[in-house]
A and B are shown apart, each in its own frame.
Chain A
Amino acid sequence: ETGVTQTPRHLVMGMTNKKSLKCEQHLGHNAMYWYKQSAKKPLELMFVYSLEERVENNSVPSRFSPECPNSSHLFLHLHTLQPEDSALYLCASSRDRGTNGELFFGEGSRLTVL
């Protein structure tokens, strides 16, 4: 069982829909991340939160809006997406933002935009 849980696992939405992805970590970590994984491309860092404060926004379009209400939960709100936004969205956490060591990933939310 993973310490990072993502829901939904699969999501199909139209370009005019509004949906949200949810991530919850049960590891007591202080930093949380959103990554985008597209076919044949490296993992792309989207957002980083440390102690509920956004510390990194990697030039992500405003149609992606993150929210971190507490150190255990992270959301990615989606609005007026494009078909090229179809991808696997991975949430990850780490003990804190300044340590070496692993990122713990969730199993991802597979998003398809029609």
Chain B
Amino acid sequence: GESVGLHLPTLSVQEGDNSIINCAYSNSASDYFIWYKQESGKGPQFIIDIRSNMDKRQGQRVTVLLNKTVKHLSLQIAATQPGDSAVYFCAERASTGFQKLVFGTGTRLLVSP
């Protein structure tokens, strides 16, 4: 069945370091992927997305990499800041028609000053 998982439940980094959060997905037919950030007490917020016809997309301080060969997705955060501390979810669109997203369990990013 479809599944989206994360390699590490918690990632601790120092302020200023680059962070890499990984995600594995199992549905090779998924064509769209999103990263969300959820801060404590808040709902998930969109960070960046990528379509399956791309292997890299950059935003402000964030980069998403997609490796379809091994069904792997990663989120890179440059110069990580304390405000980046949150839980990060990857999600894949498992079917067409509407936004039926399958979410991973999340990785908690802890940034130390």
Q: Which residues of A contact B (CB under 8 A)?
A: 2, 4, 31, 33, 40-43, 45, 48, 50, 55-56, 90, 92, 94, 97-108
A69 to B89, CA, bound (A): 31
CB-CB nearest in chain B for A6: B43
Question: Which residues from A are CB-within-8-Å of B49?
Answer: 100-102
5 CB < 8 A contacts A-B: A2-B43, A4-B43, A41-B105, A42-B89, A100-B93
- Are B100 and A90 in touch, CB under 8 angstroms? no
CB-CB nearest in chain A for B104: A42
- Are A43 and B99 in touch, CB under 8 angstroms? no
A98 to B98, CA, bound (A): 4
Check B13 for interface membership: any CB of A closer than 8 A: no
- Are A50 and B98 in touch, CB under 8 angstroms? yes
Q: In whole Å, how far is A41's beta carbon from the nearest beta carbon of chain B?
A: 6
CB-CB nearest in chain A for B42: A107
- Are B98 and A107 in touch, CB under 8 angstroms? no
Partner among B43, B100, B105 whose Cβ is within 8 Å of the Cβ of A42? B105
A31 to B100, CA, bound (A): 12
